[in-house]
Structure 1
């Protein structure tokens, strides 16, 4: 875990499980404008390049041009799959993160980036966490995988780095083959205009068939466009991957 004093969020008022209230009235007009700019751009790209399950989640949960109210979203999400969104100050320790996932709670950062950071941000913010991740939590298959991943994270111990690579190459930067062609489901791609185009259109990028043991032994870099993506044939492959023996 990065020292709290170097992180952007306000960790002073958090609960013991690292959660904080969202406090919708604290978002400024500029915060709303940044969300609207990002949401309009990424929604257009999602309708062209995202998998149908993600697009369905955008519509079902009512994700639109204003910063979402977590309570309102939970009233729609929980009856679908039993998941809830919880606010967090920013990055939280691995064990706290896995515990939330294991109990069908998805941690979402409550602060949003500045306009000068529209195209690149070091730490995950509200837009990345919510727009990128939450729509797929309305899909029963993907929702079950996320809970299983959380349980496996709690159990992983010293081999947690291998499991982290599985998260990176699926939940954050995953692609899936569909009858409509290659589509995106990874949040790190869908929350970035540059990464969407890079993942789908650029030449010289590896797009490899998904195989869990290969994924878990492939290092990744967090501060540049990806050179390698792994392509699923079906979301149900994720269950076998999460249950793969870590070694």
Structure 2
């Protein structure tokens, strides 16, 4: 598929600007430094939708060897993990309507690109996603293993927090693209749990409301270095047929 960039209307670009500016009113104070630096490195600005072929992908390839790969929407597990294993991040190209600014049933282009792509400028984070996907492909025929991996992906790539200089910051794309969750996740009333692979693999999540808990990493290197443990625990769970 192709982004078909010329088909975006003035109204689409206006929606992107509205979403972009709304998030940037709060993210500079609460988002991970790697994400904020990545916004500039991948060339994202308020006044137009990113052009994958002409701008975003050349920048990403030079930074980490990754690229954005256009997909129609949600795709099967195998296709999803195969793309990530080959350092291609799947992203849809449709943009929410003005009536859908605050809630969508499935991710749109703003979530996929604004939420996720800037952090693809960070090599340790990229290596984590690629290696995690290779673990997933080894277990692609086990629904139980894929469910465990979905939990881990959810609480890291989508809804993860990181501790930077003693302060909690946001790096999960699902939070970064949501104005409400950006505030909710840092509330003192919501539990914050230190990153632990065994706990993550066993912790269910919700797709239709704000999360009830968040997991905190100390660095992106910690994520990358956790992949062998993830593989070992999955092998053990499959061998014992014990899943939660």
TM-score by length of structure 2 reads 0.90
Is 2:131 the partner of 1:145? Answer: no
TM-score by length of structure 1 reads 0.89
CA–CA separation in structure 1 for the residues paired with 2:13 and 2:147? 36
- 62, 67, 71: which one aligns with 2:49: 67
CA–CA separation in structure 2 for the residues paired with 1:97 and 1:45? 31
In structure 1, the residue matched to 2:94 is: 111
- 164, 168, 176: which one aligns with 1:182: 168
**C-alpha displacement of 1:216:** 0.7
CA–CA separation in structure 1 for the residues paired with 2:62 and 2:45? 20
In structure 1, the residue matched to 2:69 is: 86
CA–CA separation in structure 2 for the residues paired with 1:43 and 1:108? 21
Q: How many residues align?
A: 227
Structure 1 window deviating more from structure 2 (59-68 vs 233-242): it is: 233-242
CA–CA separation in structure 1 for the residues paired with 2:80 and 2:159? 19
What are structure 2's unaligned runs of at least 5 residues? Answer: 238-244
CA–CA separation in structure 2 for the residues paired with 1:112 and 1:180? 36
Is 2:174 the partner of 1:193? Answer: no
Equivalent pair of 2:94/2:108 in contact (CA under 8 Å)? yes
Equivalent pair of 1:156/1:163 in contact (CA under 8 Å)? no
Structure 1 window deviating more from structure 2 (202-211 vs 62-71): it is: 202-211
CA–CA separation in structure 2 for the residues paired with 1:33 and 1:150? 35
What are structure 1's unaligned runs of at least 5 residues? Answer: 1-19
- 37, 55, 75: which one aligns with 2:36: 55
Structure 1 window deviating more from structure 2 (135-144 vs 43-52): it is: 43-52
Is 2:224 the partner of 1:242? Answer: no
SS in 1 for 2:146: helix
CA–CA separation in structure 1 for the residues paired with 2:224 and 2:197? 10
User: What do residues 202-242 of structure 1 show as CA deviations (whole Å, max 9, x unaligned)?
Assistant: 23211111101101100001000011000111112212433
CA–CA separation in structure 1 for the residues paired with 2:125 and 2:183? 24
Equivalent pair of 1:207/1:229 in contact (CA under 8 Å)? yes
- 79, 85, 107: which one aligns with 1:96: 79
CA–CA separation in structure 1 for the residues paired with 2:87 and 2:224? 16
In structure 1, the residue matched to 2:240 is: none
CA–CA separation in structure 2 for the residues paired with 1:175 and 1:183? 6
User: What do residues 24-69 of structure 1 show as CA deviations (whole Å, max 9, x unaligned)?
Assistant: 1111111111111001111232211111000010011110111000
In structure 1, the residue matched to 2:202 is: 217
User: What do residues 78-122 of structure 1 show as CA deviations (whole Å, max 9, x unaligned)?
Assistant: 011100111111111110010000000001101000111101111
- Dislocated runs of 4+, deviation >3 Å: none
**C-alpha displacement of 1:180:** 5.6
